[in-house]
Every structure is written in C-alpha cells, then in structure tokens.
Structure 1
Amino acid sequence: MAVEKIDGALFKKALIHSSRVLKQNKRIVDSLNVYPVPDGDTGTNMSLTVEQAVEEAGKIKGDDLKRIVDAAAWGSLMGARGNSGVILSQLFRGFAAGVPAEKDSLNAQDLAMAFKKGVDEAYRAVLRPVEGTILTVAREAADKMLAEAKKSKNIVENLEKTLDHARKVLDKTPEMLTILKEAGVVDAGGKGLIFLLEGFLQALKNPALIDEEETGESAGAAGQGAVRADIPDLEYIYCTEVIVEGREIDIEALKSQVLPLGDSLVITGMNNVVKLHIHTNHPGEVLERALQWGELSKIKVDNMKLQHQEFVRSAPPGDDEVKDTTIVAVVSGEGLKQIFKSMGAGAIIEGGQSMNPSIESILSVVEEQKSPNIIILPNNKNIILTAEQVKRLSNKNVYVVPTRSIPQGISALMAYNPLHSVDENVNNMNRALKNVITGEVTFAARDSRWNGTEIKEGDVLGIVDGELVAIGADRSEVLRELILKMAGEKDSGVLTIYYGEAVSPEEAGEVGSEVAKKYPDFEVEVYKGDQSLYYYIVSLE
C-alpha cells in the first residue's frame, strides 16, 4: 500500500494505535531491565507517557495537523515518567517543532525531517548521552528515514525499511553497552521505540484499525495528576484546571488576566493548546476569561477541603508562616514518608522504584507550595531527569539535588539549614551526597547475569551503591554480608537500617541488635520504612 501523505486524521489514528501496541507489549519492555531487581518499568513509563499524548491529541476537534502534534507533544511532556518517558517526550516535542504551522499534511520528507528534529531535541535533553540506548536507535532510524525519503515518496515503504534498520541497530546495542551484553538483553527504551514505530506503520497500512468513534478517546487512564490534601482554612478553596484550545493564545496576557483571581497559577502550553491551573474562589470567572482565547475542554473544579489525600504535606498544624524554601521529596513507604516529614520535607510525592511520578505530578505539587524557592529530592536515579524538566516549566525557583537513593535524600535533608540561603543550602546538600553509602537488600525478579555472577529468579540480592555484593536465600544473612561490605575498613560511623513492609519489627530488631554487637564503635539505628520491593535499605555515614 502506498501512502504519500499523512494528514491530521491519519496521524491521530496512527498515534492511537502506536500507543496500543506499546501498551500491549510494555511487559516485554519492562522485562529487559539490565538489573534483575524488581524495578524494570521502562515499558510502563513509556506507555503512560504516550497515553497522555494520545489523550491530549484526541481532544483536538477536527483534523488540524499542527494542533494535533502540538497537543500530543504537550501531553507527552506532562505525562513523562522516568528517564525513558522524558526522552520520549522530547522526541515528541522536537517532532512537533519540526511541523510547520501551515502544513495540513506531511510527505515523506516532512515526516523524516520532523522525526530527525525530535531526535536532536532528545539528545539535547540528556546531559551525557550514552550510545546503545533509545537515543542510538532513534538517531539511526531518523537517518535511515531521511535517506529513504530522498529515494521514494512512499511513506509506508520508507517506514518498513526504517524499521528493519532500527531492529538491526537494536540487536547491536549489547555490543555498544557491556552491561546489556552481560545481562543478555537489548536496550529496553530502544525496544519500546520499535513497538511505537511498528504501531504507527500498522495504522498507515490499515487506518481502519482505529474506528472513527475512538479517535477522540484516550488510550488509557494517563496523566495521574496531583490530588490535593485535605487542608483547612484555605484562602482559595477551588482548584481549577482547564484546557484552552485556540489559534493564537497569548500566554502572558492570559496569565495577567487570571492572576488576580487566586494563587498557585500554572500556565503551560505549546502554541495552540494551553493548560491553566489556579487555586481560586471564583472558578466561573477564571473560565470566562479563558474562554476569550478559545474553546475550553477538560474543565476540572475541585473543592480542596473535600479531596482525598494523595500527596502528603508536612507543615505543622497552625504554622502559617510562608517559608523562603520548601523541600519536595519523592518517597514511598509510610515509615519513610514520616521520617522525611519529621526532618523538614515540606511536601511528599508518592513514588520511587516502579512508581515514577510524571512531570505533571511533580509540577503540580511544586506550584501549590507558597515558598518562592523549591528544592526537589528525587531519591531515585530514574526520577532525576523528570525533576529537571520541572525546573523549566515552573514559575518558581526550582533546584534539583540529584539524590539517587533514600539514604542520599536523608543525608541531604540533614545538611539543610533554614537560616542559610537557598544557594548555600543546595551546595551543602550536594556535598552531603558524597558522605553516604547506600545499601539495599531486595530479590531477583528474573534469571540474569550481573558482574559475572549467575542470578536466579527469587535470589536475595545485596547491593551497595549500584554494585552487587551479596547473593543468598536468606535476607537477614544477605543483610549481614551487605553491612560487612559497607563497613569495610571503617572504624566508626552511623549505620541506619530501614526495614520494608515485608519485614517484621521483630526480625528487624534482632538483626539490628546483632549488628550493634558486631560493630560496637558504630552508632546503629533501626527504623520502620514500610517500603515495598526492598527488604532493607541501609545508610552508612
């Protein structure tokens, strides 16, 4: 079948089907995690990111190509989760920027050029791009698509050849990254991109795959936004959100019109589609002013006093003082949440391993804080890039301290001093990360090979700062061996053990007592963390 042009209607259908194909295969992508620990969520993160792109594109009435690709780009940005989701959102963003406003369809050359612009944007988003990842597969695919577009106007034929080349590049990723070769897998993000391209091609070959009545529907429940907590005595009660769709929306003018009506104002968008969020006592007036700029959709007005708590904030009762700086931390586990709150975190976002919050979720919590300065503690290597994107979207001064673990997050909190300037605090918190060693005891989610060691599904693993140091069948024994490796030649230190939801207080107490006896010069503390997936998280400073 020959297809020489892709208009707005066909692009929307292809996007929907791409999302479905990825969703159907996300577990395959998740299983390609190079580490056997139970945090393989690349496929899930990519799928949720694309689902929100579909959701926003589906709200565009009519077949205006530029509005559709802009909406998809904006949706993917707001829904981006994890490193893979952020990179994918940048592919969408660059693609949309590569589609001229006057275009009502894309030919083979247009499609290839837009995709190449998306790849360039994705590379710019990553501080230190690594070859053998989704970036490599995307770049090679873009180059192949450009080369084929010079030879043929048939987009289907070009995509078939592009996909064939991209699959071969993906198969070579283990040769580019030793860690992939050892684990016996190809790059997960690259595999996810292949599924998306396959879905796009299938839809071009058979547009009837997507029924007309489904075109405007979401491919899934994406975009889990922040739900505000039950807070008494609010100055502004109604959390108001709305999508504005128009031709020439002046974001700054719209902002000045609604700003007097409340606080926590966030306006983000791309050209013809804008999302507005504000806390106000006059939601009707907000909507009236937004209506001047275009059509309204996804109107959401919530009474914040009545909402169920999803994001927990830790301001002490009766403390109405507006702080200069608020620390926002991503944490999972009720015990760990309480610890972070008690140490000064002003807002807690539910998230961590296998539960990466979206850009929109973090942004929403950041913007509802009254402090002008925000410090984000991601506490997970796969959330750092997501948090960094919030910096350029927020109306506040946002700083990201790149904490890669719960112990690093706690160490950063200990270095914070409310009497110091935000810059001084950020510098001190960054320095504090070097003083802590992180240990984790978890289980193998699948058979694998790690650092030359054969691992079987169900094995208990001991990991120190990302390196496997112990394997066994008993978690207490692995914990003891882990601590032995962490202590090394140290004569003293503070050793803190946080036990997970699968561990009883009695078990944790017994292990803690044994460790304290074995290391009399160490200060040993045991706390209930309630974290999932990890039996123990250990900190040594």
Structure 2
Amino acid sequence: MPDSVDAATVRRWCAAGLDALRRHRAEIDALNVYPVPDGDTGTNLALTMAAAVEAADGAAVGDVLRGAARGALLGARGNSGIILAQLFKGLADALDGVAAADAAQLARALDEAARGAYRAVAAPVEGTVLTVGAAAARAALAAADGAGARSGGVAAVARAAAEGARVALARTPEQLPALARAGVVDAGGRGLVVLLDALVQTLTGEAPPPGGAPGPATPPAPRPGGTMEREAGSGEYAYEVQYLLQAGAAAVEALRGVLAGLGDSLVVVGDDPTWHVHVHVNDVGAAIEAGVEAGRPSRISVTRFADQITARAEAPRPRTAAAVPSQSAPPDARAEAGAPAGVRADAGSPVGVRADGGSPVGVRAEAGETAGVGAEAGARAGVRAEAGAPQSVPAGAGAPVGVRAEAGETGAGHRERADAGREERADAGREEREAEHWERADAEHGERAEAGRRDSGVVVVCSGPGLARLLEAEGATVLTGSPSTGEILDAIRGTGAGRVVVLPNDPNVLAVAAAAAAEARAAGVRAGVVPTRSPVQALAAMAVRDAERRFEDDVIAMAEAAARCRAAEVTIAGREALTVAGRCQPGDILAIVDGEVNLIGQDLSQTACLLLDRMLAGGGELVTLVSGRDAPEGLAAALTAHVEGSWPFVEVQCYEGGQPHYPLLVGVE
C-alpha cells in the first residue's frame, strides 16, 4: 500500500469516484425528502465529478486537486455539486505546493475541505453533507494522530474518514426532521461516503462494504405541526432594512455572513466601493450596526411589514367607473380553508390598484413605495399628455374659439374676435411645439430604453417547452433542466450584455447560479442572482424588470416581486412517505407550498381547488396557473371557473408550461 497520495493517485481516485457515483446514481437520486420522483442529487454529483475528472491534471497533488476543483466548479450541478467543488477546493488549498501527501497532510486536507464547505454556505444546516464531511475529517485527524497511521499510513486515514462519514450519514435523520419524516438519509452525504469509499479502494484495492444507504430503523413519530422545521421565508421577519453602503469588497463579504445570520431575503449587489444592501430581519439595530462596522451606510430605509400591510389595506383606493372593492374570502371558502396549515401570507403581499373592472394596471408596486401607489420607482410624477393630445385652455383667452361676432358688432367686438383669432393661432402653435417636444422626448426615451435593453440581459432556468417559450418572449435567455456552472456562465456571456440577472427557479440550482454569477463578475460582467424558487416567481420578477433602471435597483425590484409571489406545486406521490399533512401512498395527489406537503388528496382538480382556497385565504389578487406535461385536459379551465365563482375579484392567468413531474404550478400575488 502506498505511503503517500501523489498526483497519479488523485487522478485514479477521481476516476474511481466517478465510476462509483455513476453506479450509485439511481440509489442516491431516490434519497429524496419528498415522495416525488424528481430527486437528482446522484445525477448532479456524477455530472459534477465528470467535469472534475476532465480537469484533474498536473505534476503535483495540489495541482491536480486545483484543476479538479476548478472543473467541478464550472461543471457543478445543483447544491450538491457546488459543495463537492468546495470540498475539492479545500483539499487543493491545504495541499498547495505538495508533491505527495503523507497521512498527516491528508488528514489536515480533509479537515480543511470540511471547514471550507461550511464557510461556503451562508446558513449551514446539520444533518447534511456538511455534517458528514466534518465527521470524516474528525475521524481522519484522530487516525493520523494514532498508531493506525504509523502502521497503515494514508490508507488508515482514508479508512477512518470513510467509516466516520458512514456513521454520521446514518445519524442524519436524527438531525434533520425532513429526513426523518421521509425515512431516508441525506443524499449529498451518501455521495460523499461513496467518494471516500472510492479513495479507500484506490489506496488499498479493497471493495467498499456491501449495502446501500442506511436509513432509520423505524419510522419516526410525527412531531406537532408547530414544531416542524420548515423554510422560514419573509413571514418570519418583521422588518425590511435597506441602505446604500460605501465599503471595500472584503468588508462586504464579511457583512454578507453577518446579515445572513440575522434574517433572510438577503441581497447585496453593487461594485466596489458602492453597494446596495437589502435584508429582512427582526433586529433592525443589529442590521444597521453591521453596515456601520463594514463601512459608511446612507439612505437607510426601515419598513415594518405589519404596518405596511395595514397601511395598504386601510389606504383609500382610487376609484374608476369600474372600481374594484377589496377582496374578501366568501364565508364558505373561509370555512373550507380553515387555518391554512403551513401556508403563510408573504409579508408585503401587494394589494395593488386596479382599473377597468379588475384588469391589473400592468405595473407592479416596487419595493419601498408608498401604500396604494402602483407606479414603479423612478417613474415621473404626474401624467404627461401624449403628443398631439388636446391641451388645457389657458385662462383669459378671451372669447371661446369658434364663436363668431354677429353682424353689426361693435369695434370692441371686432377686436375681441381678432384677439380670439390670434389666441387660437397661438394655441395651435403652442400645441404644435409641444407635440414636437414630446415626439423628440419619446424618441430619446426609446433610444435610451433600447440601449438599456442591449446592455442588460436575463438568464432563466426552467423545464418545459411552454415555459421556455413564455420566458423567451419576455426577452430572457432560457436554459432547461439542471445546468452546470459553466453552462450558466456561457449563457450570461452569450447575452452580450454588461448587466445580467439570473433567475434559477429551483432551490437546487441557486448555488450553481451564484457560482456562475461570481465567475461572470470576475470577468467584468455585472451579474446578480434573484433567488427565485419557482417559474411563477420568475414571471413575477420579469413583469417588473426595467432595463432603464440602475442595475442594483432593478435586481432589488425583481427580488421583491418574486418574494411577493407565493408559489406552490401539485404533483403525484411516487412512494409511501410521512409528510407534514400525514402519510401519503403512491399515486396520491400532493400539494406542496413553500417546500412542505400541505394537502394530500385523491383527485387532482379537487386538491388543486382546495389549495387555491387556502392560498387565497391569506390574500391575493392575481393567480397564475402553469399546466404541466401530465396535466389532464380541462384542468386550467376548471380551476379558473372555481376561482371566478369563489373569489370573483381575483384575476387568473393560465399558461401551458409542459414541465415534467408537476402537473400544476401555482403562483398567488
């Protein structure tokens, strides 16, 4: 057995790890916390590892690992792929300049890799691959300090790391309730065990222990709904804090970590030294103090969501000939919905101003605008008359235009008529000059808008041909499936724009999108990520996009619009599982809201109707329905009729998305 790990050994390990991940791909894919056949962690890990193998080259062990880390980063798929790339980066950093690693160096490298993975995650969660990696590192360090390392060298360290990871993996359901409810272990952690087993096999020739991923011995008892861990969302935080910040890039990076620990909806965009900071928190003072410590904040804005909602609800709404009253749930609908378990009304859900009998004005309320105002930030106050529109008659214009003096009128009357004629000609000349002015202004405005569009772009990730066509029609570059970091980076570059927003539309793509945006920024492109979790949120974000706005303001506006859109999915259970809503069986209809199973039913249409009632009970004026590939004919029409009957002042928009796995996507704004 070798006494050290050299460059050739690392290349063999990477190849063996890729082969093992491919063999275990289906097994790892099946370790999904939801009983939906869309798990892809195993696939993502295999694809990411393939990119790492292709780039793993160099004369020294550190060089090979550096190449593998770079390849994994650019080829990363999903959150698991991003973590794998970070693990390789940690190994490369620890072994930089090392020709061949001995047992102690290997153990320290595994420890640095685990620590680096934790640092890369804004809000680390135990019971995940991070926990498994940390356990492997501890076991490796203990082996390197013991007699086993002296007798077995690097092989003993690798065995200890793999066994430590295996034990930690078996305990992940005890640490993460979602795993316990589903009766599975963490999929990313299982992938790491497979890779460490491949390292042992590379060093010793020993086959890994038989058996697949371990799970809990008995199904866990359900916990009370109020104690279930779930995605917090903006509803958990009472205040929105925004400010401009003058600070260096290093200070801003530290600020990100501080604010991530204080709340959610964190967006920090800009260029050194000016940044725009936005976060939802409960401790306003701490959020502002963090900005003071990082640099010099200005234009500080604090909004309490509860006050904002109250102000919008109580503000007098402009009325038109077809004014729309405030929406209230019909008594029977409220009774049916009950207390919407697991469903919350997003903070700051817009009331909005409607005209023309309920059709939306078409401009959504932007972040920070006053209650009841629907105009976008930066829009000119007041309404400008279009070119050629009749202008108001100035006071003191003399006799009304078009009134002729009667026969026999006096000289004064004649002068009055002459004055009126001159005034009429003056008015006509003034209207002509104003028309020319507005025509020039419109032309200049159009040129600026066109220039803004050319210099700004949007990259959107989605699945389904209908969704792709819909988003492309909005001017977006669309990627389908689960793209890699490199593919998203190529799409950003392919827009040819200097300012690009990325909409990932899937929690599992978010980290990959962030890595691609970071690479783009390093290449001189101002790229930002709006953390959309569903295509319906992307549609909401695209509706408020304004290429003429400052890039930072546009990113914030799109992020706010996406956050105001509550998203849900309706799908079909692929296996038996214990969920927040109870135990489901294969073939059951599942309604998932904010990442949790909210309803279990037998009929797709009935379950979807009840889902809409529950979501609308929390408020909303616009429902977006996106039909999937397997949606039955007439589903959208039936749901539209239900909303029109039960919620008469709610508008419904329907689209054919064609997405797999989810017959229906729902958005409520």
Same fold (TM over 0.5): yes
Deviations 1:30-62 (A, max 9, x none): 1111111232111111111111111222xx47x
Deviations 1:149-191 (A, max 9, x none): 1222422222222222221111111111111112111111111
Residues 113-512 of structure 1 aligned to structure 2 (within 5 Å): 113-151=108-146, 152-153=149-150, 154-206=153-205, 323-345=454-476, 347-351=477-481, 356-394=482-520, 395=523, 396-451=525-580, 453-490=582-619, 493-512=621-640
- Contact between 1:471 and 1:478, CA under 8 Å: does it hold in 2? yes
What is the Cα deviation at residue 433 of structure 1?
2.3
What is the Cα deviation at residue 452 of structure 1?
5.6
SS of equivalent residue, structure 1 residue 418:
coil
- Contact between 1:344 and 1:413, CA under 8 Å: does it hold in 2? no
Deviations 1:218-276 (A, max 9, x none): xxxxxxxxxxxxxxxxxxxxxxxxxxxxxxxxxxxxxxxxxxxxxxxxxxxxxxxxxxx
Instruction: Report the residue type matching 2:623 in the other structure.
Output: L
What is the Cα deviation at residue 320 of structure 1?
9.3
SS of equivalent residue, structure 1 residue 417:
coil
Instruction: Report the residue type matching 1:75 in the other structure.
Output: G
Deviates more, 1:381-390 or 1:452-461: 452-461
Distance 1:505 1:421 in 2: 44
- Contact between 1:13 and 1:207, CA under 8 Å: does it hold in 2? no
Distance 1:336 1:511 in 2: 19
SS of equivalent residue, structure 2 residue 636:
helix
Name 1:289's counterpart in structure 2: none
What is the Cα deviation at residue 207 of structure 1?
9.3
Deviates more, 1:192-201 or 1:477-486: 477-486
Distance 1:519 1:386 in 2: 39
Q: TM-score, normalised by structure 1?
A: 0.74
Deviates more, 1:372-381 or 1:389-398: 389-398
What is the Cα deviation at residue 82 of structure 1?
0.5
SS of equivalent residue, structure 1 residue 329:
strand
- Contact between 1:133 and 1:187, CA under 8 Å: does it hold in 2? yes
Instruction: Report the residue type matching 1:162 in the other structure.
Output: A
Q: Does 1:105 align with 2:234?
A: no
Show structure 2 runs of 5+ residues with no match: 209-449
427 and 489 in structure 1: CA distance in 2 versus 1, 3 angstrom threshold: closer
- Contact between 2:458 and 2:500, CA under 8 Å: does it hold in 1? yes
- The structure with more radius of gyration: 2
Name 2:69's counterpart in structure 1: 73
Instruction: Report the residue type matching 2:532 in the other structure.
Output: T
Instruction: Report the residue type matching 2:658 in the other structure.
Output: D
Distance 1:126 1:330 in 2: 22
- Contact between 2:453 and 2:548, CA under 8 Å: does it hold in 1? no
* Residue correspondences, number: 421
Distance 2:644 2:2 in 1: 71
- Contact between 2:7 and 2:60, CA under 8 Å: does it hold in 1? yes
Q: Does 1:87 align with 2:83?
A: yes
Distance 2:85 2:583 in 1: 36
Instruction: Report the residue type matching 2:96 in the other structure.
Output: P
What is the Cα deviation at residue 504 of structure 1?
4.7
Distance 1:207 1:361 in 2: 37
Distance 1:185 1:452 in 2: 18
Name 2:40's counterpart in structure 1: 41
SS of equivalent residue, structure 1 residue 382:
helix
- Contact between 2:499 and 2:526, CA under 8 Å: does it hold in 1? yes
Distance 1:470 1:131 in 2: 27
Distance 1:447 1:505 in 2: 27
Distance 1:331 1:507 in 2: 22
- Contact between 1:380 and 1:405, CA under 8 Å: does it hold in 2? yes
Distance 1:11 1:383 in 2: 28
- Contact between 2:464 and 2:657, CA under 8 Å: does it hold in 1? yes
- Contact between 2:90 and 2:116, CA under 8 Å: does it hold in 1? yes
Distance 1:384 1:43 in 2: 17
SS of equivalent residue, structure 2 residue 36:
coil
Instruction: Report the residue type matching 1:105 in the other structure.
Output: A
Deviates more, 1:160-169 or 1:183-192: 160-169
SS of equivalent residue, structure 1 residue 164:
helix
Distance 1:322 1:466 in 2: 34
Name 2:338's counterpart in structure 1: none
